Amino acid sequence: MPAILITGANRGLGLEFAKQYAEDGWTVYATCRNPDSAKDLRALIQAHPAIQIHALDVTEWSGIERLAARLQDVTIDLLLNNAGIYGNKAGQKLGDLKPDEWLKVFCANSIAPIKVAEAFLPHISRGSGKKIASISSQMASLANNTSGGSYYYRSSKTALNMALTNLSIDLKPRGITVLALHPGWVRTGMGGPDAPLDAAISVSGLRQVINSATLEQTGTFLSYDGLIPW
Ligand SMILES: NC(=O)c1ccc[n+]([C@@H]2O[C@H](COP(=O)([O-])OP(=O)(O)OC[C@H]3O[C@@H](n4cnc5c(N)ncnc54)[C@H](OP(=O)(O)O)[C@@H]3O)[C@@H](O)[C@H]2O)c1
């Protein structure tokens, strides 16, 4: 059975990814900051014993290395970098920019996905899937930015996209496909209650996109329902 490692799998899109891949028979390494309080994820294990929960704060760099070492004999077909933060929604405006908050968003959204990929490269290289999918956002798109605002979030996801482009170039010779994905605007803790999309629809669309992507598509920016301009 193929295996996936998901970050931020305790709620929102990450939890839905864990559920759908487990239902499909995958072995799921579901990581989250606080396994003890991840009650929805723990409940999933009752129906799907092939889910394993591991503690991982993606901004604790040594913790990423420790988990990669603990799972050193494991093969991962798909790494799903899902964990992310928006930062203070009310702030992030010109005249009120706070570098410390901005840096935190950068650590979680731009640096962490690449550090997780770096640490788990041996596990991914052994797999037959050989894919790294990272949840970016349409808000990262330079071409689509007509409203401004959300300085921390937008810039952190744009930086992620550039780092993923690098990763795709570095890893193409090793046969590893790297994708930047937009899930749509989804009803989660981050998306809020007014978002038009249900997590189940977004995740099932993204799973099809990931599944059908070949090495030819490495380094592309894809939505749950199509291509996104950089
Ligand atoms: N929802 C949308 O409309 C939308 C649109 C575009 C892109 N996205 C992206 O989709 C991804 C998932 O978002 P979501 O909508 O599911 O948001 P969410 O409901 O707020 O969930 C975010 C997840 O990320 C985890 N996380 C945050 N910081 C972390 C850290 N340092 N280490 C480990 N886990 C951490 C959270 O864990 P805790 O429970 O411990 O906080 C939670 O599991 C994010 O990358 C987001 O930027 C979402």
Domain boundaries, the chain: 3-227
Q: How far is the CA of 88 from the centre of ligand 1 (A)?
A: 14
CB of 12 shorter than 6 A to ligand 1 = yes
pLDDT value of residue 224: 87
Strand partners, 227: 222
Instruction: Report the distance separating Cα 86 and Cα 26, nearest Å.
Output: 29
Q: How far is the CA of 191 from the centre of ligand 1 (A)?
A: 9
Cβ contacts of residue 56 below 8 Å, gap of 6+?
7, 31, 32, 33, 63, 64, 67
- CATH code: domain 3-227 is 3.40.50.720
Give the Cα separation of 55 and 58 in Å (integer).
10
Tell me the best of 17, 19, 33 to mutate to test the pocket of ligand 1, counting ligand atoms within 8 Å of each CB and taking the most: 33
Tokens of 156: 């952190």
**What are the average pLDDT values for consecutive 10-residue runs of the chain, which has 230 residues?**
98 98 98 98 94 98 98 98 96 94 98 98 98 98 96 98 98 98 98 97 97 97 89
pLDDT at residue 90, rounded to an integer: 87
Cα(40)–Cα(16) distance, integer angstroms: 10
Give me the pLDDT at residue 227, please. Answer: 81
User: How many whole angstroms from 12 Cα to the centroid of ligand 1?
Assistant: 7
CA of 4 to the centre of ligand 1 (A): 17
Would you give the distance in Å from CA 16 to the centre of its chain?
Answer: 12
At residue 228, the pLDDT reads 85
Q: What's CA 11's distance to the chain center, in Å?
A: 13
Structure tokens at 47: 């129906």
Atom of ligand 1 nearest to the CA of 58: 32
CA nearest ligand 1 atom 9, residue = 135
Distance in angstroms (rounded) separating the CA atoms of residues 52 and 33: 14
Query: Does the C-beta of 189 come closer than 6 Å to ligand 1?
Result: yes
Q: Is the CB–ligand 1 distance for residue 188 below 6 Å?
A: yes
Cα distance between residue 74 and residue 71, in whole Å: 5
Measure 139 CA to ligand 1 centroid, in angstroms: 15
Answer whether 9's CB lies under 8 Å from 30's CB.
yes
Q: Which pair of structure tokens corresponds to residue 6?
A: 């998901």
